[in-house]
Amino acid sequence: MTDFLLELLSEEIPARMQGKARADLEKLFAEQLAAAGLKAESLQTFSTPRRLALIARGLPETTQAVSEELKGPPAEAPDAAVEGFLRKAGLTRDALETRDVKGRATLFAVINKPGRATADVLADAIPAIIRAFPWPKSMRWGTASQTTESLRWVRPLQGIIALLGGYVVPCEIDGLVAGNSTVGHRFHHTGPVTISGVEDYASALRAAHVIVDHDERASIIRDGAMKAARDAGFVLVEDEGLVIENAGLTEWPVPLLGRYDPAFLEVPPEVIQLTTRINQKYFVVRDAAGALAPAFVCTANISAHDGGKAIVAGNEKVLAARLSDARFFWELDQKKTLEQHAEKLKSIVFHEKLGTVADKVERVAKLARWLCEEGIVTAKPLPFRGGVGVGNESRVVSDAPTPYPSPEGEGLDRAHLATLAEQAARLCKADLVTEMVGEFPELQGLMGGYYAAKEGLDPQVAAAIRDHYKPVGQGDDVPTDPVTVAVSLADKLDSLACFFSINELPTGSKDPFALRRSAIAVSNLIFSNQLRCSVHSMIAAAVAPAMKIPAVATLAREFEAAASQFAGRPLAMTYDQNVAVTLVAFFIDRLKVQQREAGVRHDLIDAVFALGGEDDLVRLLARVHALQAFVETDEGGNLLAGYKRAANILKKEMPSPLEGRGGSREAAEGEGQSPTSEHSPLPTLSPEGERAFEHEPAEAALIAALDDAEPRAIAAIEAEDFEGAMAALAVLRAPIDAFFDDVTVNDADPAKRAARLGLLARFRSAVHRVADFSKIEG
């Protein structure tokens, strides 16, 4: 067994690429070994700005000798076939063996491959790894770059160490020959550093002021930055991303504390933090009270001979210039009101087919107003009466003040709320044309909020401008202030409606306009705020204004012309209806994906949604939660089994055009799409009809149970008490089981048979009052 060291020395590798480069090096190396039948006991990788290294321990000295057998043509085969086989095997005729295969003389080639020295394998592997290395961006350099075929690397490759058990593995790539020496720290060490093997690699470099282990550098930075802040009486704002980035920028990290003029603290803290972090890669610190303090921690790459004084002074100077720039933008932006800034949105294109940002703002403002006027977004959320699974039982029909997080929102009447929402919507994109957001696009929204507050606008309007992009991703805060909710919802609904109107749908991994995220944000806004509305009507309200966009109007004309030509009769669906239907389906699809993560079964969502009448998402989800709780109990499981048995018998005995795929199209259309209506085309049997013959006891019991359960289930559903509805249906479980045990459905008497099928159909439709159980899996 032996050990191997590989170091690829280059000019400074971007910090952000080093983590993946280590993983890629390990993967490529392991693949090369595996291809030769080798495996190391352990692989370790390291990186610094200037080197990428790998240590393999426990490598065999040679590969296994292998013997390979190839079966060839029969001995009497024509020469051409034998020659082909010889070429494939790389042997001559006399080296072949003849063996008996099922009574037939057949040629065999035995190819013995002796074990290969691991050094030879590595000599081939190293150049192959270098050539195949998947850098995100690579370049050519030097005299070799006369052609575009020359070696590419992330930055010029300067040297290779390849030591197997202390000996150099002889290999070469584009004139670069592997050896046993590298360089130390750029400034703390001159001359080559000679390495004898795996064991002294890290220590020899440490002596040359290079800490080769990235994790060790990261912990020096993490601990050192914390200590530097603490020593000055501050608390470091921890930032693991910055730790890793600084570890990728240094070979000998030295954290140092610097300060800046407290006068800059008039600029919003987010701006200071961002410019400090992004532009300078410094940590920020807080004072004991948690407020941003006028100091920072930078990470130097040298132990300066003045203890770092000059470095700190230099970094302080740079930060002062950055902050001075930030303050310049902050003051310049405030010379205009947001309304004046918003004027400029007329010249900013939102999307080439969808007009300007000003056009979008206009639509969002109207939609935000509509959401408030319709009472979808209200100052006080309508308490949800049923409250299953959403954890809001305490809210149920209570007269006590709701624990709504925004007390300012209370008491606003609809008209006032609508006015504020429209105002906020009109200003919400204005900060996009400010200098500060031009410099730091991440601050969109936030800056608008600050500027609105500075202007003295209503705090709810300022908050809505600030937060209307939220929620941005899973786990992001969901706005609860009604003005913000209205603007955020309107903004996202408008984007969805517009992009769907021009057929820009997400496909596969491509979602350039983040429409999936927008759809999930809409449902999060609805659930978190218990917004009671029909998805269909909300989407229709967003789609209608999109139809007025010229490019969309053109598409609509084309669609309608094409469709009427195809169908030869008036359209079943107009373009806006078509867009809305697609969008609702997309929406439900995203809802399923999102709810799956929350542990909600998608088949149950389908089962409730299939009822057709249910498009109030809050109620839909409550039903689904109740249903899930129910089907997971024994009672629910048994009722489901009973339902399936009943449904199967009905399907077999009386195929319904709705269920039977073979059913004629006309019948299906004629039947309509409302599954709450009687599913079965059975002759409707009056209660008298059911009683026209002597019922068997189990039959009578089921009828009685249905008579009792059905009205209770209906009442519970009307009261949005879905648990109650489930409980009402649960009592059917014993009677339906008994019915199947004791009663023959296929009675010889056609009247009895018809009556019993009718009874099963009644049972099925009773169950359908809560959900289409046929969609439930298992």
Footprint of another protein (CB under 8 A):
11-12, 14-16, 49, 137-148, 154-156, 158, 186-188, 249-250, 280, 282, 298, 300-302, 304-306, 310-311, 313-315, 317-321, 324-325, 328, 344, 347-349
Task: Outline where 136-250 has alpha helix (H).
Answer: 198-207, 214-231, 240-247
d(CA 369, CA 487): 9
Give the three-class secondary structure for 301.
coil
What's the min distance (Å) between Cβ of 13 and another protein? 8
- Residue number, 326 or 745, with CB nearest to another protein: 326
What's the min distance (Å) between Cβ of 362 and another protein? 17
Query: Under 8 Å CB-to-CB from 159, ≥6 apart: which residues?
Result: 7, 8, 9, 176, 179, 181, 182, 183
What is the Cα 60 distance to its own chain's centre? 43
- DSSP-derived pairing of the beta strands 192-194 and 181-183: antiparallel
Q: Is the peptide bond preceding residue 262 cis, with omega within 30 degrees of 0? A: no
Q: Which residues pair with 194 in a beta bridge?
A: 181
Closest CA to 389 of 531, 519, 527: 527
Give the three-class secondary structure for 718.
helix
What's the min distance (Å) between Cβ of 148 and another protein? 5
What's the min distance (Å) between Cβ of 287 and another protein? 23
Give the three-class secondary structure for 9.
strand
- Residue number, 98 or 138, with CB nearest to another protein: 138
Burial class (CB in 10 A: 0-12, 13-18, 19+), 408: middle
d(CA 254, CA 247): 10
Amino acid letter for position 256: L
d(CA 522, CA 371): 13
What's the min distance (Å) between Cβ of 22 and another protein? 17
- Residue number, 87 or 305, with CB nearest to another protein: 305
d(CA 23, CA 12): 18
What's the min distance (Å) between Cβ of 131 and another protein? 18
* 314, 256 contact by CB (below 8 A): no
- Residue number, 217 or 601, with CB nearest to another protein: 217
Tell me which residue has tokens 């008298």: 688
Closest CA to 254 of 202, 211, 285, 207: 211
* 99, 106 contact by CB (below 8 A): yes
- Residue number, 306 or 399, with CB nearest to another protein: 306
d(CA 323, CA 710): 71
Q: How many Cβ atoms are within 10 Å of 41's Cβ, its own excluded?
A: 11
- 224-232, long-range: CB < 8 A, 24+ apart: 224/253, 224/254, 224/255, 224/299, 225/255, 225/283, 225/297, 225/299, 227/255, 228/255, 228/256, 228/257, 228/297, 229/257, 229/283, 229/285, 229/295, 229/297, 231/257, 232/257, 232/285, 232/295
- Residue number, 188 or 536, with CB nearest to another protein: 188
What's the min distance (Å) between Cβ of 329 and another protein? 10
* 622, 721 contact by CB (below 8 A): no
d(CA 484, CA 460): 7
Residue 169 to residues 118, 124, 175, 401, 712: CA-CA distances in angstroms? Answer: 9, 10, 15, 78, 84
What's the min distance (Å) between Cβ of 673 and another protein? 45
3-state helix, strand, coil in the chain (%, to 5): 55, 15, 35
Q: What angle do the packed helices 357-373 and 535-546 form, to 10 degrees?
A: 150
Query: Under 8 Å CB-to-CB from 642, ≥6 apart: which residues?
Result: 732, 733, 736, 737, 740, 763
Residue 511 to residues 7, 122, 263, 625: CA-CA distances in angstroms? Answer: 40, 43, 43, 30
What's the min distance (Å) between Cβ of 11 and another protein? 6
Q: What is the distance in angstroms between the CA of the first residue and the CA of the last residue of the chain? A: 55
Give the three-class secondary structure for 410.
coil
- Residue number, 130 or 647, with CB nearest to another protein: 130
Tell me which residue has tokens 């001359």: 191
What's the min distance (Å) between Cβ of 112 and another protein? 46
The vertex-249 CA angle with 247 and 254, nearest 5°, equals 65
What's the min distance (Å) between Cβ of 154 and another protein? 8
